[in-house]
């Protein structure tokens, strides 16, 4: 486990090859073990069962890239999953992010920890070089800086951050506030009696129960085609403000009774640099 910290904030991160996360869905660089701020675990293990091959056995700001070349690959052929490696398409079924795919080439990883930052690099020869730096920017803030370069043909797709924030407890209800600096709009997957849009965000009207979940896949600024990379999540006295330097095409909300995740999506095309900043505060 790698760690960096200061007087107020401590980040614990898994090394890409330490065996904690063996799924093929999420980027294996910067898999958080814990985010501690002022004694509160802002992000930690939110799942009740654990298997390293679970698709979502990740914590905190976890990122996923869309697959590249899957539709063009015949069964037995390969496709690219940035932050994981060169994967093998086993059959003719459509791509399924929840499925575990065989890894044909895991690429080459490095991880270096300094006093205030950790840098991960992933190289897939002839395909890409990916660099992710996680750095402390203050006693209550950190940033994730990315650079993706092609080592062959240009690469493009979309990437999002899942934002598994726990706020020191595992309950989603009226105290969990999701806010935007604009009026959000979107369509719910079903008619829920537990959650609704407001002029400034999303509110839960009651505590979600075990086995219950809510989902909307297209949050955007009302009257616009996308939204700025700006949102905040709070629970009780603590909050996290999230800001990015790239436009967001849409945002997903997925929540169960233990965690509520805002997932902002942005497009990428190599060469590509982008940054996400996190600021913790007392409400």
Residues 189-219: b if buried by 16+ CB within 10 A, e if exposed: eeebebbebeeebbebeeebeeeeebebeeb
Task: Provide the residue range defining the domain that includes 216.
Answer: 2-282
Give the three-state DSSP class for 93.
Answer: coil
Low pLDDT (below 50) residues in the chain: none
Which pLDDT belongs to residue 283?
A: 80
pTM above 0.85, yes or no: yes
Which pLDDT belongs to residue 80?
A: 99
Write the pLDDT tens digit of every residue in 9-38. Answer: 999 999 999 999 999 999 999 999 999 999
| Percentages (nearest 5) of helix, strand, coil residues in the chain | 0, 50, 50
| Residue whose entry in the numeric block shows the structure tokens 């590249």 | 68
**C-alpha 243, offset from chain centre:** 13
Q: Residue 11 maps to which CATH number?
A: 2.70.98
Distance CA 195, CA 69 (A): 37
Rg of the chain, C-alpha, whole Å: 18
Task: Report how many domains make up the chain.
Answer: 1
Which pLDDT belongs to residue 180?
A: 96
């Amino acid at each position: 486990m790698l760690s960096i910290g200061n007087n107020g904030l401590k980040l614990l991160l898994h090394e890409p090859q330490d065996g904690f996360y063996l799924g093929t869905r999420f980027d294996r660089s910067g898999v958080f073990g814990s985010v501690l701020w002022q004694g509160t675990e802002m992000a930690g293990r939110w799942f009740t069962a654990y298997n390293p091959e679970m698709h979502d056995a990740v914590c905190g700001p976890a990122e996923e890239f869309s697959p590249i070349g899957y539709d063009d690959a015949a069964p037995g052929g390969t496709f690219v999953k940035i932050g994981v490696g060169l994967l093998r398409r086993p059959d003719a079924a459509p791509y399924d992010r929840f499925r575990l795919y065989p890894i044909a080439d895991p690429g080459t990883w490095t991880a270096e920890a300094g006093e205030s930052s950790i840098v991960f690099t992933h190289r897939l020869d002839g395909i890409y070089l990916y660099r992710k730096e996680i750095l402390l920017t203050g006693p209550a803030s950190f940033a994730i800086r990315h650079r993706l370069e092609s080592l062959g043909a240009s690469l493009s797709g979309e990437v999002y951050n899942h934002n598994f924030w726990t706020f020191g407890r595992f309950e989603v209800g009226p105290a969990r506030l999701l806010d935007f600096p604009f009026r959000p709009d979107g369509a719910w997957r079903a008619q829920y009696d537990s959650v609704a849009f407001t002029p400034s965000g999303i509110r839960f009207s009651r505590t979600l129960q075990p086995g219950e979940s809510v989902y909307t896949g297209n949050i955007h600024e009302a009257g616009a085609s996308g939204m700025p990379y700006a949102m905040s999540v709070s629970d009780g006295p603590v909050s996290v403000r999230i800001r990015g330097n790239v436009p967001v095409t849409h945002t997903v909300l997925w929540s169960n009774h233990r965690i509520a995740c805002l997932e902002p999506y942005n497009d990428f095309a190599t060469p590509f640099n982008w940054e996400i900043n996190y600021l913790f505060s007392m409400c």
